[in-house]
Chains A and B, each alone.
Chain A
Amino acid sequence: MRRRGVGASAVTKKKLESARYKERGTELAAQQLEQLSSQLETFHTNLEEFAAKHKNEIRKDPQFRHQFQQMCASIGVDPLASGKGFWSEMLGVGDFYYELGVQAVEICIATRSQNGGILTMDELHKRLMKTRGRYGQDITQEDIRTAIKKLKVLGTGFALLGSASKQIIQSVPGELNMDHTAILDLAQQTNGKVSASQVQSALLWSPERTQQVLEHLTREGMAWADDQAKDKQRLYWFPALFNSDRKLKS
């Protein structure tokens, strides 16, 4: 009687079988890899197609650009991560923000002597539109925010202060703390000026604290003192937050 399965032939057979399985396995893996790379290629070509097709829209239409940014963010891609990356080469999106960033820096520096290094988002936006000319691309404050956030890599020279609607761009290295921004916020509501008593009652500060912060802002060249107010109280004016018809035209 023969016993089954323990003979030499059975061992060989098993070996053969496992070898075949292995072979099959590699074959499958190779197939999957091939499939994956072809999928990637399709994705790549589609993306290129998309990029080519919508390049102009991304550059021209601010809303589209914003949506594109959001899409990129949700899939974990940062088209601005590098100027040499696929995205910026394909789309020129990087260039767009770099250019905008450079223009924003230029405006901040050009107006620094006037405003002591702080500029409202509204004014920067307006000036950027003017610099870029009538035929330039349309830009939104969202674009400016993106561009300025990118400037952080250059150090601490540029910062966005305050809340979304009334943001201020600070382009001088000096530290502005919460107290300083609180006063800037307050001044924005009253055409760019505050008095010590107004600050004390609005922010519930002591006279010493108020004086110290106002003097700091004056020393930094951000505030100008005005001693000719009707009630003889000194007013502190911020050129950056002051608006008049003539200033808007200048």
Chain B
Amino acid sequence: MAASTTFNWPWQYDFPPFFTIQKNADTKAKQIEAWCTLVLEYHQHNKLLKLRVADALASPLFSNKAIERKLPKEGVMEVLESLCKKGNVQWDDKSKTSCVIYWKTIEQWADIIYSWASKTGSLNTVCTLHELTQGPHTTSEPFHGLDDWLLIKALSTLQSRGKAELIGEEGVKFFA
């Protein structure tokens, strides 16, 4: 999980036609699927949540300098739209210039945090949000270093399930 390790690019990243949207419907479906996986894994590895389309076009994610290929904007949009349908992408604006990449959905985050709480005996006690994402006991957890707004969304989901209660803006109490 540590961001310092190098990212494992899939083999397709070296395959030049991967960067040209395919006309054959079956091949294209496989291609978009592979791109979706790559986008999520890339953001997860680098713990990135936001994506600005204009920046992304030039980022190594969509352009492989070594083989001089890059996914054109229409391709990038197609991949993001496909992720949006799956619930992994949420557009910030109607003109679709930037979005949030949920490499785990809010629901998944809620489950992960709750299972951590019950595993570590943190039920029925109050934890601070800071403790959850920055504390020394969660360094090996996937939600370590998670953005506050996303954390609060996940905890709100737990709250609506009756599994937790947000206390003020800084704390949370998990229920069994």
A positions within 8 Å CB-CB of B: 113-114, 116, 193, 218-219, 221, 224-230, 235, 237, 239, 242, 244-247, 249-250
Contacts and interface: CB of A to CB of B under 8 A. Distances in A.
B14 A228 contact: no
Nearest to B33: A113
A193 B17 CA distance: 10
B27 A224 contact: yes
B27 A246 contact: no
Interface residues on B, range: 20 to 34
Contact of A246 (B14, B19, B69): B14
Contacts of B24: 218-219, 221
Chain A contact residues: helix, strand, loop or mixed: mixed
A225 B11 contact: no
B110 to A, nearest CB: 33
A113 B9 CA distance: 19
Given A228-B69, A244-B15, 6 more contacts: A224-B17, A224-B20, A230-B68, A237-B15, A246-B9, A250-B10
A231 to B, nearest CB: 12
A198 to B, nearest CB: 15
- Lowest 9 A-B CB distances belong to which pairs? A224-B17, A247-B11, A226-B17, A244-B14, A246-B11, A226-B16, A227-B20, A237-B17, A250-B11
A235 B26 contact: no
Contacts of B19: 226, 228
Nearest to A246: B11
B13 interface: yes
A218 B26 CA distance: 10
Contacts of A230: 68
Contacts of A239: 15
